Amino acid sequence: MKTYDFIIVGNGLAGSLIANELLNRGQKIIVFQDNSLKSSSSVAGGMVNPVTGKYLAKTWLHEELFGLLFEYYRTLENELGGSFFHQTGLFRPFSNPENKKHFLNQIEKNRLEDYLEVIEDVTEFQKHFKIELGGMFTQKAGWCDVPLLVSRIKEKLIKNEALIEENFDYSLLRTEEERVNYKNIFVSKIIFCEGFYASKNPYFDWLPFNPVKGETLIGEIENYNVKPIVNQGKWLMPLGNNKVRLGATYSWHSLDFEPTEKAKDELLATMNKVLISDFKIEDQQAGIRPATKDRRPFVGVHPKYKNLFIFNGLGTKGVSLAPYFTGQLLDFIFYQKDINPEANIERHYSLYS
């Protein structure tokens, strides 16, 4: 018989940040990770961007999320070793005079001066892009190399003998009043972080998930020296050494991990409206984002089994949401602090029967 404080199921971005934080708080944990189940984190673009969309809306909880995440990932880099967070900034060109007028109005209307700087001189971009009318630049954007971050935390788990690389079989879970028994491992609490696969978890399958398939292309552009991410319908992210990632597509059908011609054509057709350099494709990746019907995360405790927790629903913005909601879930567990009601799964308890 073995005893632990926590079992964590899933070692994607959500499970990794939770596990790392629990280890740092001195907890005895064991993580189950089934490597035959492809994760969203292994193909994520990892972009963070506080202002998005046609109407330049500030992202939900932008102050809380963006007030924390840069420092959070830098601290993780120092702690774990490695450079996985890149605050490159993001440039969004104006596509025509009407589009420029619309965005300038939105910047004023939404008071975005602290977020977006209008750039007139675009010579930096013109070697690779057909950009004439300037655009908007935000410094508060960049990307996280999620696979690298996850692999660093995995190394830490292995060092702490806290990782079991096998499937967590829900049918073998026995819940008792004060503890949980799984294959003779006794723990006080389980945190489920299975991403898209949570729909197979009989304890949480009643939550309204709405998974979204996404695809990206990895490629090379000769002498690519543009530092920020360029976003024009699709985004082009510099990975270093002339490598770039082009993303991303959204599909609510055919929820599989197969790259498609359709997605490749869509990505290239959109980006080639502004990209004039040759994009040499090296790889195409597909994954399924664990999104939810109301586009808010699933954080909290099971309505009946008070030692079962969920950290999921990070959707399209896992890198922005995960640091803040890791803190929210653990503060709830340890200090009974409130979880943001829009993220707390209490909002869906009426669906549980």
Ligand X SMILES: Cc1cc2nc3c(=O)[nH]c(=O)nc-3n(C[C@H](O)[C@H](O)[C@H](O)COP(=O)(O)OP(=O)(O)OC[C@H]3O[C@@H](n4cnc5c(N)ncnc54)[C@H](O)[C@@H]3O)c2cc1C
- By rule CB under 6 A, what string of x and - marks binding of each residue 290-309 to ligand X? x-------------------
Runs of H (alpha helix) within 25-128: 62-66, 69-80, 97-109, 123-126
Distance in angstroms (rounded) separating the CA atoms of residues 7 and 140: 35
Closer CB to ligand X, 31 or 107, in the complex: 31
Q: Phi first, then psi: what are they for 8, rounded to 5°?
A: -120, 130
Taking CB under 6 A as the criterion, the residue among 135, 219, 228, 247 binding ligand X is 247
Taking CB under 6 A as the criterion, the residue among 135, 238, 300, 318 binding ligand X is 318
Taking CB under 6 A as the criterion, the residue among 6, 20, 29, 33 binding ligand X is 33
At its nearest, how many Å lie between ligand X and the CB of residue 98?
28
DSSP string, 299-326: EEE-SS-TTEEEEE--GGGHHHHHHHHH
Taking CB under 6 A as the criterion, the residue among 232, 292, 307, 312 binding ligand X is 312
Nearest to 294 by CA among 242, 343, 229: 343
Angstrom CA distances, 263 to 215, 216, 269, 317, 321, stand at 7, 8, 10, 20, 26
- By rule CB under 6 A, what string of x and - marks binding of each residue 133-152 to ligand X? -------------x------
User: Does 197 help bind ligand X (rule: CB under 6 A)?
Assistant: yes
Closer CB to ligand X, 93 or 142, in the complex: 142
Residues 1-30 that bind ligand X (CB under 6 A): 9-15
Which position has the token pair 């005079």? 97
Q: Is residue 73 within 8 Å of 167, Cβ to Cβ?
A: no
Closer CB to ligand X, 133 or 158, in the complex: 158
User: Does 317 help bind ligand X (rule: CB under 6 A)?
Assistant: yes
The structure tokens listed for 233 are: 């319908």
> Which residues are near ligand X by CB under 6 A?
9-15, 32-34, 37, 39-41, 43-47, 146, 167-168, 193-197, 214-216, 247-248, 287, 289-290, 312, 314-320
